[in-house]
């Protein structure tokens, strides 16, 4: 029997073990044999794409205020690690450029989430695209966003890049809606995963990936249903669970 090869993305890196969206979390994800890394991109005041999930720096740094009100140099002065553990004191927020320089020669897939559903960062799609192109990683990158207009804009820049519409909602016309924006796939919250949704997506030539899947029972369900990828804070657990699933299936 053919082995299942569901892609395991480390969600914001190995974010259960190190501060999310930082180099320690990405390094750990690589060491733990993740297939890819998922990260979030926002723009600074001086239009540098940086890796941070929230629009506000308060939760994951010792600073306050919005990412868009800081220059990149100012953001680098913030401590993005000690909130997680004293082991990571003085860990810095990094730029997309730094991240791509690190990942370029590694056998890792990328999922770049454009964080523009709250703040519409002007030209975010072009800025991210040009960086991905310059590092020659477009062929292994998925661009995802909750902002359907952003997906459409990215597809206009380059229709060959894989894009995915992100949602946590059960929307009646979800599949035709995603297709109308040019999305290649759906990245859905674990709680709305169902066999019928997967079947309908497959009929429409849309793949389905699921976030955030941290429990082995949830992972097993995703594997059984044939999801293309899962996003997890514990990539080592996901990889081990996949090995176990394949062993049982064969």
Q: Provide the annotated active-site residues.
A: 11, 53
Q: How far apart are the C-alpha atoms of 168 and 73, rounded to whole Å?
A: 34
Reading the block at residue 59, the tokens are 């939760």
Angle at 35 between CA 2 and CA 154, to 5 degrees: 110
Q: How far apart are the C-alpha atoms of 78 and 47, rounded to whole Å?
A: 18
DSSP symbol at 87: G
Helix 96-103 crosses helix 23-31 at what angle (to 10 degrees)?
A: 20
C-beta of residue 234 within 8 angstroms of C-beta of residue 214: yes
Q: How far apart are the C-alpha atoms of 78 and 188, rounded to whole Å?
A: 32
Q: How far apart are the C-alpha atoms of 187 and 142, rounded to whole Å?
A: 11
Closest CA to 199 of 179, 176, 227: 227
SS (H, E, C) 142-189: EEEECCHHHHHHHHHHCCCCEEEEEECCCCCCHHHHHHHCCCCEEEEE
Instruction: Return the residue matching tokens 């995603």.
Output: 178
């Amino acid at each position: 029997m053919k082995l299942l090869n569901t892609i395991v993305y480390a969600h914001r890196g190995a974010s259960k073990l190190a501060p999310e969206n930082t180099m320690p979390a990405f390094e750990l994800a690589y060491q733990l044999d993740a297939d890819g890394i998922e990260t979030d991109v926002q723009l600074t005041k001086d239009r540098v794409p940086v890796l941070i999930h929230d629009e506000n720096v308060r939760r994951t740094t010792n600073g306050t205020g919005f990412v868009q009100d800081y220059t990149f140099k100012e953001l680098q002065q913030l401590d993005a690690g000690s909130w997680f553990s004293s082991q990571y004191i003085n860990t810095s927020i990094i730029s997309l450029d730094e991240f791509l320089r690190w990942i370029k020669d590694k056998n890792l897939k990328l999922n770049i989430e454009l964080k523009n559903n709250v703040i519409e960062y002007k030209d975010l799609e072009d800025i991210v695209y040009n960086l991905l192109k310059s590092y020659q990683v477009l062929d292994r990158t998925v661009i995802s966003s909750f902002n359907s207009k952003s997906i459409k804009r990215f597809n206009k820049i380059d229709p060959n890049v894989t894009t995915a519409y992100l949602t946590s909602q059960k929307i009646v016309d979800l599949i035709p809606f995603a297709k109308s924006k040019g999305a290649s796939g759906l990245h859905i919250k674990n709680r709305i995963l169902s066999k019928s949704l997967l079947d309908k997506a497959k009929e429409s030539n849309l793949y389905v990936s699921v976030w955030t899947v941290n429990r082995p029972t949830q992972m097993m369900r995703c594997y059984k249903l044939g999801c293309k990828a899962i996003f997890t804070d514990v990539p080592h657990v996901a990889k081990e669970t996949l090995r176990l699933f394949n062993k049982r299936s064969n």
